[in-house]
Amino acid sequence: MDTVASTGKLNKEEIFDLMKQFITEVIGEEFVEEMDITTESSFTKDLEMDSIEIVSFSEKIKAHFGDQIDFTGWLSSMDLDQLINLNLGMIINYIYECQ
């Protein structure tokens, strides 16, 4: 649900589950079923998310965590190579550190 969480810090497993839920909402269940989403999954290569889908994903993070995480700002500080190599584990670590 897109609500700002008010309770305590999530552990990495909980963040992983939440990210999986957001990815499913963005790209659709039928595609997620065919994929094995792991912390190694890259956004562009493995999950095949395009930029408008990453916008949706960013909006979900913003809606859930509010101002405590500047996910878009973090993404915009990356160059193209970093973005291409971005995987789920890196996002989980970033969110975990920000909380």
Partner 1 sequence: MPVIKVNNRDVHIQELNKGAAETVLLVHGMFSNLSVYYFNIAPILAEHFHVVMYDLKSHGMSERTLHGYDLNSMTDDLNGLMEALNLNTVHLAGYSFGGLIALKMALRFPDKVKKLVVIEAPDPKDEKARGIIDDYSREFLEHYVENFTDTTKVKMGKRQMERNHRMYEYLFYQTSIKSDMIAEKDFLDEPEVALLNKDTLLLYGADSNCLETGKELNEKIKTSELTPVPGDHNIPIQEPVLIANMINTFFRN
Q: Which neighbouring-strand residues pair with 42? A: 87
Applying CB under 8 A, among 44, 87, 89, 96 the residue interacting with partner 1 is 44
Applying CB under 8 A, among 8, 36, 76, 97 the residue interacting with partner 1 is 76
Smallest separation, CB 13 to partner 1 (Å): 27
Residue 54 binding partner 1, by CB under 8 A: yes
Structure-token pair, residue 86? 């971005």
Tell me the window of 5-13, 16-24, 42-50, 88-96 that interacts with partner 1 (CB under 8 A): 42-50
Please tell me the distance from the alpha carbon of residue 41 to that of residue 78, in angstroms, as a whole number.
18
Structure-token pair, residue 20? 């999986």
Phi, psi of 80 (to 5 degrees): -60, -45
Phi, psi of 65 (to 5 degrees): -100, -10
Contacting positions for partner 1 (CB under 8 A): 27, 31, 44-45, 48, 50-52, 54-56, 58-59, 72-73, 75-76, 80-81, 84
